[in-house]
Amino acid sequence: MARLDSLKNRLDSSTSRSRAESCATLRHPEHQQRILEEIHAVKSAKLDAGEDAGFTSHDYDSMPFFNACIKETLRMYPIVVTLARCTDRDDVIPLSEPVISTSGEKLAHIPVKKGQRVIIDITSYNRLKSAWGEDADKWNPERFLQPKTLQQMTSLGVYSNLLTFSAGVRACIGWRFALQEMQAIIAGLIPMFEFSIDPTIDIYRAQLGGMVPMVRGKEAEGSQLPLKVKPRASSLNEA
């Protein structure tokens, strides 16, 4: 029942994510152009083969840079910020890298007591330099296309070594659905419109339940992501 309740709560989270996807590529028109070229290439190949121009899930998955941009967005802007767990026994949490405790002790594992609350920070892992490289704080979809970087990554979670959909037995059961929703929305919008953002607007990541975009100085208006949307010349020609 709890799983069904949380299913209901998650249904709109992937559409919020598509909105944020636009946010990340907004500042990179050259990346929107690369995505557009991949979409056109797949569409042309389908038409040349006498197939329907509508995209299948295989078509969406076949576009490397398009998917790299989605992965990079999910990495940098995970909508769920933390995971909370409660331990069912005294135990230790093993660490891949030692940490320094508040008393200055170097810890190779963290002891936990039965009933203790453990908070897992998705944003920290998703930007961990030892997993993602020195540019972990920077938008760089190429990292998902370079085998060298991928080899350095830990193997974690249900999708592309990201913690965004959590990991293990309680990982997100809607991740594939969410991904296809994002792929369909982006592949539908990018050929029609050019997206950009006014560089004078300061947008930052705020935690409001989940991670949401917020305009600095306009917090009272709630979460928002003001976009400039221009019809593409090619889409006007087609109309």
Binding region for ligand HEM (CB under 6 A): 3, 6-7, 10-11, 13-14, 17, 78-80, 83, 164-166, 170, 172-174, 177-178
Q: Locate 177 and state its tokens.
A: 């659905």
Q: Are 87 and 120 in contact (CB under 8 A)?
A: no
Find the shortest distance in angstroms from Cβ 13 to ligand HEM. Answer: 4
CA-based nearest residue to 174, from 1, 21, 12:
12
Find the shortest distance in angstroms from Cβ 131 to ligand HEM. Answer: 17
**Phi, psi angle pair for 187, to nearest 5°:** -65, -25
Find the shortest distance in angstroms from Cβ 153 to ligand HEM. Answer: 19
CB closer to ligand HEM, 107 vs 181: 181
Using CB atoms, what's the residue nearest to ligand HEM? 174
CB closer to ligand HEM, 73 vs 140: 73
CB closer to ligand HEM, 98 vs 168: 168
Q: Is 172 labeled as ligand-binding?
A: yes
DSSP string, 102-165: TTS-EEEEEEE-TT-EEEEEHHHHHT-HHHH-TTTTS--GGGGT-HHHHHHS---SSBTTBSTT
CA-based nearest residue to 166, from 5, 6, 1, 42:
6
CB closer to ligand HEM, 75 vs 143: 75
CB closer to ligand HEM, 78 vs 131: 78
Find the shortest distance in angstroms from Cβ 199 to ligand HEM. Answer: 27
Find the shortest distance in angstroms from Cβ 178 to ligand HEM. Answer: 4
Cβ neighbours of residue 209 closer than 8 Å, sequence gap 6 or more:
none
Q: Are 59 and 42 in contact (CB under 8 A)?
A: yes
Residues annotated in a binding site: 172
Q: Which residues are annotated as a binding site for heme?
A: 172
